Amino acid sequence: MTALVQELLNTFDRLTDSERLFLVLEILKRTIYLDFPPLSDEDLALNAEELFLDLDSQEAPYG
């Protein structure tokens, strides 16, 4: 992650809920027309694994 991206995320964390919502909506509007290449099966599997590991760590305290 670049320093600029980290700075943007830190600023985002300091916004009010309504400001965050407005910002997210604006970012989504601007990204729907970007031409991203399709994700490979490997990319999808790695992302899924990361999500499941995160969920497992969140559920661990509950047994």
Per-residue pLDDT of the chain (63 residues; tens, 9 = 90+): 899 999 999 999 999 999 999 999 999 999 988 888 898 999 999 999 999 999 988 888 886
The amino acid occupying position 11 is T
Distance CA 50, CA 55 (A): 9
**Residue range(s) defining the domain that contains residue 7:** 3-62
Q: 12 with 23: CB under 8 angstroms?
A: yes
Domain count, the chain: 1
Which pLDDT score, from 0 to 100, does residue 10 have? 97
Which pLDDT score, from 0 to 100, does residue 9 have? 95
Task: Tell me which residue of 42, 25, 11 sits closest to 3, measured CA to CA.
Answer: 11
Which pLDDT score, from 0 to 100, does residue 1 have? 82
Long-range contact list for 10-16, CB < 8 A, 24+ apart?
none
Q: 7 with 15: CB under 8 angstroms?
A: no
